Amino acid sequence: MTEHILITGGAGFIGSNIAATLSQRPNTEVVVVDDFSSGDWRNLIHVDCEVRAADCDDASVLQEIADGRYTAIYHEAAITDTTVMDQRLMVEVNTNAFAKILEASCKSDTRVIYASSAGTYGNSAAPNSIGSGEEPENIYGFSKLLMDRIAKRWYDKHKAPIIGLRYFNVYGCGEHHKNERDGNKTASMMLQMYDKAKAGEQLRLFKYGEQMRDFVYIRDVVGANIAGLTATQSGVCNVGSGKARTFNDIVENLGVALGTTFDVEYFDNPFSFYQMHTEADLTETKTILNWQPEWSLEKGIADYIKQLEHGHRGPQVAS
């Protein structure tokens, strides 16, 4: 039997990586719905899937979901620029649309795996655990927390699982478009530093590069999403490496991957709000998803830089 998988936001970084992997599976047809507000058609050049330009809550898409056309829905579409301050817009696009998708998926009992975010934790003390310290510091994080709350209200009514994945800082192939937006570069620090290094520019970090983040490699993020296809219960899970690493660690590993060392310039952090330490607690991730990350920062950066050095920029396929 052929599986039909819907991926909203499938032209984006994470969605296109999920699409690239799933479209390689036998008896699997992937449909991408994207409004191309931040995604990039180039991510889908080599992905065998149907591509539709539409809002993720387009009436015809919702009808298809309600009619049971899809085996599973990956909902990745969102305003992903965390500096957007328009509160109404953020909640409309990120939260309201998701509520409509759940209403439709409940009619056909279709599995939903959706993107939440570590932004729900704001600057709470690490490690970050589901159900505690959920104090977002911006409207983006709040819109994602609202999604998790809405999902929870559907758990009992929805026969198929609804699984929220709180991604931490994701890096890997397929994110180039995030550095090509006007004025605001939102790609991972790995790509930003790599681009600077290749351009012969000075690498700069906020003083003194000791800020810690849980960086998770895209291959692990795809692995967590695939695990969501067979999970048997609803819930929200963190998707991180489970380890916090410093910005200095990134520069050091970039140097190792490129066979050089970098002299970093440190400067004052201009932001009044800045996440200083994120680290995913993986308790629910293991129980609900039965999945664990496999890529350390060292391995992930080495693999990513190898792809970049070969000129690869699209999504990766599971190897």
- Contact between 95 and ligand NAD per CB under 6 A: no
Tokens 């790609």 belong to residue: 187
Least gap, CB of 174 to ligand NAD (angstroms):
8
Using rule CB under 6 A, residue 37 touches ligand NAD: yes
Choice from 5, 13, 134, 136 touching ligand NAD (CB under 6 A): 13
How many beta carbons lie within 10 A of that of residue 183, not counting itself? 5
- Least Å distance, CB 186 to ligand NAD, is 8
Minimum Å gap between C-beta 201 and ligand NAD is 23
The set of residues, in sequence order, having a beta carbon less than 8 Å from that of 170 and lying 6+ positions away, is: 13, 14, 188, 215, 216, 217, 218, 221
Phi, psi angle pair for 153, to nearest 5°: -65, -20
- Are the C-beta atoms of residues 266 and 246 closer than 8 Å to each other? no
Nearest distance in Å: CB 199, ligand NAD? 23
Q: Which stretch binds ligand NAD (CB under 6 A): 76-84, 128-136, 241-249, 257-265?
A: 76-84
Angle at the Cα of 36 from the Cα atoms of 154 and 274, rounded to 5 degrees:
70
Residue 12 makes contact with ligand NAD by CB under 6 A? yes
φ, ψ (nearest 5 deg) of residue 282: -105, 20
Applying CB under 6 A, does 278 fall inside the site for ligand NAD?
no
Contact call for residues 280 and 168 (beta carbons, < 8 A)? yes
**Whole-angstrom Cα distance, residue 293 to residue 57?**
32
Work out whether 39 is an interface residue with ligand NAD (CB under 6 A).
yes
Number of residues that bind ligand NAD (CB under 6 A): 27
For residue 93, state whether it binds ligand NAD (rule: CB under 6 A): yes
56 binds ligand NAD (CB under 6 A): yes
Tell me the C-alpha distance between 55 and 61, whole Å.
9
Q: Write out the binding residues for ligand NAD, residues 157-176 only, by CB under 6 A.
A: 167, 169-170
DSSP H helices, the chain, are: 13-22, 59-66, 87-90, 97-108, 139-154, 189-198, 218-227, 247-258, 283-284, 297-309
Q: Which stretch binds ligand NAD (CB under 6 A): 70-78, 241-249, 264-272, 277-285?
A: 70-78
- We find the least distance from the C-beta atom of residue 200 to ligand NAD, in angstroms, to be 27
Residue 14 or 203 having the CB closest to ligand NAD: 14
- Annotation says 266 is catalytic: no
Catalytic residue among 70, 121, 140, 167: 140
| Residue 241 C-beta: closest distance to ligand NAD, Å | 12
Decide: is 192 part of the binding site for ligand NAD (CB under 6 A).
no
- Pull the structure tokens for residue 63: 């009808």
- Closest of 151, 99, 161, 100 to residue 130, by C-alpha: 151
Structure tokens at 289: 């998803």
Q: How far apart are CA 173 and CA 179, in angstroms?
A: 12
**Do residues 47 and 20 lie in contact, with contact meaning Cβ atoms separated by under 8 Å?**
yes
Among 34, 148, 249, 279, contact with ligand NAD (rule: CB under 6 A): 34
- Does position 11 interact with ligand NAD (CB under 6 A)? The reply is yes
Asked if 140 is an active-site residue, the reply is yes
Applying CB under 6 A, does 14 fall inside the site for ligand NAD?
yes
By CB under 6 A, name the binding residues for ligand NAD.
8-9, 11-15, 33-39, 55-56, 76-78, 80, 93, 97, 115, 117, 167, 169-170
Catalytic residue numbers, as ranges: 140, 178
